[in-house]
Amino acid sequence: MADKKETKDEAITDLKDLGAAVKAEGKTEAKAEKSEDKTENQPETRVKKVDELGRAYATGRRKDAVARVWIKPGSGKVVVNGRDQTIYFARQTQRLVLNQPFLIADRVGQFDVMCTVKGGGLSGQAGAVRHGISRALENFEPELRPALKKAGMLTRDSRTVERKKIGKHKARRSKQWAKR
């Protein structure tokens, strides 16, 4: 058997031949899979997603807040639920959170933002608007995705309030206990 070369169609008579055939078959399958992966994993060319009015839309979420955000090229005006951002978000920290995507993308003052936000408190709403602005920026300029992704702006912050447990005052706060 050793001096005669077998083809794939010939019968396999001992375990050594079986092992060699399995290894050879596995290598060819692996090569075929790698070549398929290369064609499937080509970097996608992202397309600009804009409506007929030239606006990019995205939804942002944080805690219980949901923000619907539209951005378009403009002077940097931000309107939240029909009010200016300085009126709606009175705290400076909340306005800083809002403008983080523009700072990261180096697009401060280049886009007008119109958004509606529901649910949660002001902190969660500011985070939801930030998430929505980031996603809308990515839809308007797909080449900004790597910078926004690296800064963590496109990832939804999944932390929410833990539910209250039975026999506890709050989610984790236990009842007072006295040793004596």
Residues 128-146: pLDDT tens digits?
999 999 999 999 999 999 9
Residue 170 maps to a domain: no
What is the pTM assigned to this prediction? Answer: 0.72
Which H or E element spans position 149? Answer: helix 145-150
For residue 78, give the CATH number of its domain: 3.30.230.10
Residues 117-128: pLDDT tens digits?
999 999 999 999
Residue 31 maps to a domain: no
The boundaries of the domain holding residue 143 are 56-150
Residue with tokens 């969660």: 124
Q: What pLDDT does residue 43 have?
A: 60
Residue 164 maps to a domain: no
Residue 35 maps to a domain: no
Structural domain tally of the chain? 1
Q: What pLDDT does residue 32 have?
A: 53
pLDDT over 90 (residue 88) = yes
Q: Using a CB cutoff of 8 Å and minimum separation of 24, what contacts does 141-145 make?
A: 141/48, 141/105, 141/107, 142/46, 142/47, 142/48, 143/46, 144/105, 144/107, 145/46
Q: What pLDDT does residue 50 have?
A: 87
What value does the mean pLDDT of the chain take? 85
Residues 15-72: pLDDT tens digits?
566 566 666 666 555 555 555 555 556 566 788 888 899 999 999 999 999 999 999 9
Residue 86 maps to a domain: yes
* Residue 11: band (very low, low, confident or very high) from pLDDT cuts 50, 70, 90: low
* SS3 assignment for 80-106: ECCEEHHHHCCCHHHHHHHHHHHHHHC
Which H or E element spans position 119? Answer: none
d(C-alpha 146, C-alpha 150), whole Å: 6
